[in-house]
Amino acid sequence: MRIATFVHEGQRRVGQVSADGLSVTVFGISGAAAQGALPLIEAAARGEALPPLAGAAIPLSAVRLEAPLPLPRRNLWCVGRNYHEHAKELQTSVFKDNNANPATWPIVFTKVPECVIANGDDVVLPGAAVSEQIDYEAELAVIIGTGGKNITREDAMKHVFGYTIVNDVTARDVQMRHQQWDMGKSFDTFCPMGPWIVTADELDGQHTRVRCWVNDSLRQDGRTEDLIFDIPTLIETISRGITLYPGDVIATGTPAGVGLGLKPPVFLKKGDVVRIEIDGIGTLQNAFV
């Protein structure tokens, strides 16, 4: 099932996208759906069935998609250098001395929820006085369903509600300057998310393909089988001593081919368009302005 958050006739709604991707039907839930798909995820975590669909299908062309979780309940969990080839491409970069053996423990950081934007929204470049090294990172994101603490690797996939796409936009110079990653990852508009959530019964996130184009030039092409730390391991690690809640987001890392890894590095500029496709989910596309 694909669950989308969208605006139709001035109201935010949550609905089920049709199998052909051409229409969406609203779930019969009360309220203005301010939290997007979160109430549905929380209900599923309580063992409740999804609410019934209400009304006629609406053409997808007649709605404006929003991020499936327009304002996540708290910071997004993110994982750095988590594809084998991506770790290799940064071995000679400024990160060469930063966790020289990335296979020891996952590199985990966060992005603030306020930086989330939707498919089709513009990413705002901050200006040269703030950062001149803006980069893209195409990522599969895991949406937690049933929460928990100290979740074992063996049980981890039972806690997954579904998946979406995230572009972990990064100000590389800020990331390096502060020697931690949260600030350079959390600028306003620096977390495109969407186009919707695909539930775990329809997609195996451990076996899918992640691709990214910049202005129609293919930059990233990787499979989640290449993850250094797979999804169960990430859930186990992040939940150690920390309670995960329904709707928490874990961005699992990016494949090789980021701008920093090119020789010489190539960073994003005004007018660039980044398109990310993940098999089984769809497309996330955003212009940089």
Element (H, E) at 65: strand 64-66
Per-residue pLDDT of the chain (289 residues; tens, 9 = 90+): 999 999 999 999 999 999 999 999 999 876 657 799 999 999 999 999 989 999 899 999 999 999 999 999 999 999 999 998 766 777 665 555 554 455 688 999 999 999 999 999 999 999 999 999 999 999 999 999 999 999 999 999 999 999 999 999 999 999 888 877 899 999 999 999 999 999 999 999 999 999 999 999 999 999 999 999 999 999 999 999 999 999 999 999 999 999 999 999 999 999 999 999 999 999 999 999 9
Strands 170-171 and 217-223: unpaired
Scan for tokens 């949260």, then name that residue. Answer: 182
Could you give the C-alpha distances from 185 to 45, 274, 280, in angstroms and in order? 29, 17, 26
Could you give the C-alpha distances from 263 to 97, 184, 202, in angstroms and in order? 19, 22, 38
pLDDT of residue 178: 80
Could you give the C-alpha distances from 18 to 3, 166, 255, 279, in angstroms and in order? 10, 22, 30, 17
Could you give the C-alpha distances from 190 to 14, 17, 115, 120, 130, in angstroms and in order? 23, 26, 5, 13, 14
Element (H, E) at 104: none
Interatomic CA distance for residues 4 and 67, integer angstroms: 8
- Alpha carbon distance, N-terminus to C-terminus of the chain: 33
pLDDT of residue 99: 47
- Residues listed for the chain: 289
Structure tokens at 23: 């229409």
Interatomic CA distance for residues 19 and 280, integer angstroms: 12
pLDDT of residue 257: 96
Q: Is the sign of the CA dihedral 276, 278, 281, 282 positive or negative? A: positive
Which residue from 112, 260, 253 is spatially nearest to 176, judged by alpha carbons? 260
pLDDT of residue 149: 98
The 3 state secondary structure assigned to 242-276 is CCECCCCEEECCCCCCCHHHCCCCCCCCCCCEEEE
